[in-house]
Structure 1
Amino acid sequence: MFDSISIPTILVSYVALLFSLSVHEASHATMAHWLEDDTAARLGRMTLNPLVHMDPLGTFVFPLLGLATGFPFIGWAKPVPVDPRNLTRRFSQRGGYALVAAAGPTSNLILAVLFTGILLILVRVVAPTASLQAPLFLHAVFMGRVEALQSLELGATTTLAVALCGRLVIINIALALFNLLPMGPLDGAGILRGMLPWRWLPKFDRIQPWMGGVLIVLALTGVLGYLLSPVFFVVKMVLVLIARFVFGV
């Protein structure tokens, strides 16, 4: 199982994950601060320093185990503390909390778009020959396969930059999609709660404590990956179409 471990690929993926998680959590803290709750700011969570956001299991054990074994663990960071009572009265309490919850996935989607652009420009400038092998090249890029990219003789620095950008695109899309699920501790639950009619909230609040356990079961049994796979297929096809347009193939 561990014979196929690629240390460079694991390191590239892990760096991309740490950065993406840090931006995600810092975005929650920044939005809460903008809405006048300084709970997270006082605890030093408005930062991109990954050490502040790291959770021993979610940011270290599970992601590295997943990267080493190929099991689809994505990882998580320590939740940003938010006190809805402190949020600005420009919005309802649950509306303000929904904005804080939405800040994390939104930041990941912005990063995915940003690094898609950087990646395509980078490839167009320094690796035009990759267009001759577009499908295989794109798979290697988005999976962060450093060894596969080295065969194109792009140079060590360019190879790492391309692999890192590719992983940043995929990981940020995965984080956004995962966190938008309206289940338990995920951001999607906070967003949905801010949109539901008042009469539905008691039932919604009663089932949410159970959703964390359901989420774990779905993840460990592979059902979660099965449910999200159609979305990832569409995302992959869109990325391939964009890349082929840029490459001209």
Structure 2
Amino acid sequence: MDLSAEDIRWIFVGLFTLIVSVAVHEFGHAIVAYKLGDDTPKRQGRVTLNPIAHADPIGTLLLPLVGGIYGAAAGTAGGFGWGKPVQWQPHRIRKGIKMSTASILVSVAGPGMNLLLGTLLALTHVLLLKFEVLTVGSDVGQILTFAVMTNFVLMFFNLLPVPPLDGGHVAQALVPYKHRASFESFAKFGPFIILGVILIPQFRMLFQTPAMWCADSLYKGFAALLLS
């Protein structure tokens, strides 16, 4: 396996970007659950942006690193990963908040944080271009673009309505009670469906295409607003 210095650099850029983006994602779940009245994430040290608190040794470090190495060697996309799931207790949520509502709010908070981070990074990139701190195509600019795309990919991937993804939890909260048993039967196949979505290129378009469209539209919007 022959990797160039450029390959190695991008492997570690990708790993660092994923670690930070996953931490921001999981922090979103933790802070919303905590604000809704459940102190479980706080007691477990998850209401923090410290990546160490949210990193899963296999999902955040090992698999993304191995996937990045083999992806670079094959000239394809790198690895994929996940963070340590945030634990929260629905029965600890403040009175007056429906359990289904709390589940939706906690679930969408993770992708929402990726949307926020991706938007802020894109805005920062365009501002740096406006004030000529960066030039088009610079190394730092490429890293920022990569980070924006990473966050939008994480957002749309996690919004897929398949358990145990965040979108799956939202779907479960919205399913009428009479169909709950059917949905729970479907949920058993969730991990296999997710694996297929990740491994099969045609299925990856389910989250990669909207992520690319969102990032492109955001950059064009900021450029039209700030660079014209």
1:104 alignment counterpart: 110
Quote the offset at 1:125 in angstroms: 1.4
Distance 2:227 2:126 in 1: 9
Q: Which amino acid aligns with 1:79?
A: P
Quote the offset at 1:233 in angstroms: 4.4
Query: 1:35 aligned to 2:36?
Result: yes
Label 1:10 to 1:124 Cα distance change in 2 as closer, same or farther (>3 A). farther
Distance 2:23 2:165 in 1: 16
Normalising by structure 2, report the TM-score.
0.86
1:88 alignment counterpart: 94
Matches within 5 A, 1:31-180: 31-68=32-69, 69=71, 70-126=76-132, 130=136, 137=137, 149=138, 159-160=139-140, 162-180=141-159
Normalising by structure 1, report the TM-score.
0.80
Task: Give a deviation string over 1:183-220, Cα, whole Å, max 9, x none.
Answer: 12100011122223222222112211211122112322
Secondary structure of 2:88's match?
Answer: coil
Label 1:103 to 1:244 Cα distance change in 2 as closer, same or farther (>3 A). closer
Task: Give a deviation string over 1:102-151, Cα, whole Å, max 9, x none.
Answer: 11001110111111111100122125753xxxxxx3xxxxxxxxxxx3xx
Distance 2:112 2:215 in 1: 19
Q: Which amino acid aligns with 1:187?
A: D
Gaps of 5+ in 2: none
Label 1:120 to 1:38 Cα distance change in 2 as closer, same or farther (>3 A). same
1:152 alignment counterpart: none
Query: 1:225 aligned to 2:226?
Result: no
Once the two structures are overlaid, the 10-residue window that deviates more, 4-13 or 100-109, is: 4-13
Label 1:196 to 1:2 Cα distance change in 2 as closer, same or farther (>3 A). farther
Counting aligned pairs with the same residue, the percent is: 30
Contact persistence 1:98–1:193 (CA under 8 A): no
1:7 alignment counterpart: 8
Quote the offset at 1:244 in angstroms: 5.3
* CA RMSD across the alignment: 2.2
Count residues with an aligned counterpart. 221
Label 1:221 to 1:74 Cα distance change in 2 as closer, same or farther (>3 A). same
Gaps of 5+ in 1: 131-136, 138-148, 150-158
Quote the offset at 1:55 in angstroms: 1.1
